[in-house]
Each structure stands twice: as structure tokens, then as C-alpha cells.
Amino acid sequence: MSDPGLFDGPAPRLRAAPAAAPFLELLAGAMVDALNREDDPFALSDALVLLPNRRAARGLVDAFAKRLGGAALLPTIRPLGDPYADDDPDVWGAETLETPPQIPRMRRRMELASLIRKRDQAQNGVEDPARALALADELANLLDSAATVERVAWEKLKTLVEDIDLARHWEGGARFLEIIAAYWPQHLKEEGLSDFAAYGAELRKALTARWRASPPARPIVIAGSTGSIATTRDLMRVVAGLPRGVVVLPGLDVELDDASWDMIGDQHPQHALRETLRALDVDRRAIARLGTETPLGRARRVLMREALA
């Protein structure tokens, strides 16, 4: 399809960014073109952008600075993948949640490091605080990875570890992680805290319900997410139908033939996007492109498609 304005056209409103394009720069440019108007100097700053993670959020700030050439009133930019209600209670509305608050990251790091130090002391008779902190960061990343895969059970943590070969950091690491999988949820419950998955999912569910019941008038963008997490996918469905809402999908191949599209396996890079579009009941060929694809970008996309065929 031709490239309409970011917020133009009927709902559900989705856009597809080419895989080889600089995604955040493309998004910033489209938002500036749509909202940075002389007759309304606050139009851009009134918008809300939800991105996959904090790194992407920082990158979008840089992309806006590059496009606008310096200081400007920017949209509210928040991460979908690791939301903290304290970042912006007006966005997340956490005061209505019944789920206990999420454990602070620094507290989690120190408590995991303490567990690792105790394990090292019991197993080897020595403690290495620096090593314990480094491994605590690895373990925290593992817990976050498990949390971002919808409905991953704690008892399956060992399998996930084996898949990504993290257990090599410890002798008998798999057994230690089995203990963590049994201990950590109970510890959080006793402390009146939530793990990453439960808290983030409840925030997204609450936001989805609130916007469905009372659609906001401000411009709202979900960008960069493939919708692999069910609660994110539900939120994408609502945002795509808002009066001034749009979902920008990363790297969607709108030219892949139907037979190949239907045969995509769960390891294919387009799999999550396909499942999201099916859930949203949207035909990918009806999705307008955001920006234009360069000849080099198209060549790379075709090469990748052939390699995965």
C-alpha cells in the first residue's frame, strides 16, 4: 500500500517498517511529520509511545534529537517489556492493581548475589563477591527472559537454561537453578512482591481494559513489538482501534507469498508477527508501509527470505 500519514486511515491502524530501515529514526520522522505543527506546538509532546524496552526508549529520544536538531518537547516514551508503574502512574494506572508491587531491580540483584555467595561457600568453601554480582546479573537476565515468554512455568526454567547454555557458568548449575525456581516465587510471595512476569502482565492488562472502556484522545503509538506476549498483543489490538492510535510493526514481510506465509515455522523471524496479525484479524497486504524500502534493504530481505525457505 501507499504510505499514508501515521494516524490517517480507518481502524485498525497498522504500519509496517522495512526490516533493513533504521527503525527508530523512521518512527521519529513519521511522528514529527504527523504531529510537529506550527499551529499546535504541544501536539508532539501530547503523544504517548510504547516501545519494547528501555534501550529502545532511549534510542527514540536520540532519534528525535537528531531529527529536530536539538531541544524539543518530546512525546512520553515508555517501555512495554519492563514497565514500572512508578515511572508514570498516569500511564499505567497502577493504583487500581491488586497485584503486589514488583521487586526493585537492585534489591533483586543483591538477593540473588547473596544466594550465589552462600552456594559458593557451601560448595567450595570460598566466596567471591564480584563473581556473585556478575552471576546475579546473568541470573536476573535469565529470569527476565523467562518472564517475557508468555506462560513460562517456573519449573521449566531448567529447560530454558539448557536451551541458551547459561548453566555453563556453574558446576552443577542446573541443580542450583532448580532450587532458585522452587525458592524464588515463594520468597516473593512472603515479601509481598511480584515477579517480572506477573507485574508487567497485570499492568498491560489494566491499561488495555482502561483504554477499551475509555479510549484516550491523545496520539498513542505502539512500535517495535512483534506481539509475542499475549498481554502485549491484546494491548496492540486496542491501540490499533483508538481514534488516534497506531501500531508500527518491525520488519514485516508484506511481499512473502501466501503459501510461504502459511508455512512459517515457530523459529522463523516472521512467526510472531504472523500470529499477531492472525489474532488481530488483519491481512498483512492491507498494511501500509512506513517509509520506503531501499534497493539494498530489499535485496537483504529477499536474501534472508530465500535463506529461510
Judged by average pLDDT, the poorest of 170-179, 224-233, 245-254 is 170-179
The C-alpha cell that represents 120 in the structure block: 559458593
Q: What is the pLDDT of residue 67?
A: 93
Q: Is 128 helix (H, G, I), strand (E, B) or coil?
A: coil
Q: What is the pLDDT of residue 124?
A: 78
**DSSP symbol at 286:** G
Residue 254 CA to chain centroid, in angstroms? 22
Rg of the chain's alpha carbons, rounded to an integer?
22
Express each pLDDT in 3-31 by its tens digit.
568 999 999 999 999 887 899 999 999 99
Judged by average pLDDT, the poorest of 62-66, 197-201, 243-247, 276-280 is 197-201
Region 274-302 average pLDDT:
79
Q: What is the pLDDT of residue 235?
A: 96
Closest CA to 150 of 232, 255, 217: 232
- Specify whether the CB–CB gap between 157 and 196 falls below 8 A: no
Q: What is the pLDDT of residue 44?
A: 94
Which distant-in-sequence residues (6+ apart) come within 8 Å of 145 by Cβ? 160, 164
Q: How far is CA 196 from CA 229, 234, 264, in A?
A: 13, 18, 30
Q: Which run of H or E residues covers position 55?
A: helix 54-68
The C-alpha cell that represents 257 in the structure block: 507469498
Residue type, 11: A
Q: What is the pLDDT of residue 88?
A: 60
Whether residue 273 is predicted with pLDDT greater than 90 in this model: the reply is: yes
Helices (H), 104-253: 105-124, 129-147, 157-164, 173-191, 196-213, 230-240
Task: List 288's β-bridge partners, or say none.
Answer: 15
Q: What angle do CA 149, 154, 160 make, to 5 degrees?
A: 55
pTM of the shown model: 0.78
Express each pLDDT in 151-160 by its tens digit.
455 555 555 5
Region 213-220 average pLDDT:
95
Q: What angle do CA 206, 209, 214 make, to 5 degrees?
A: 120
Region 56-72 average pLDDT:
91
> Mean pLDDT for the chain?
82
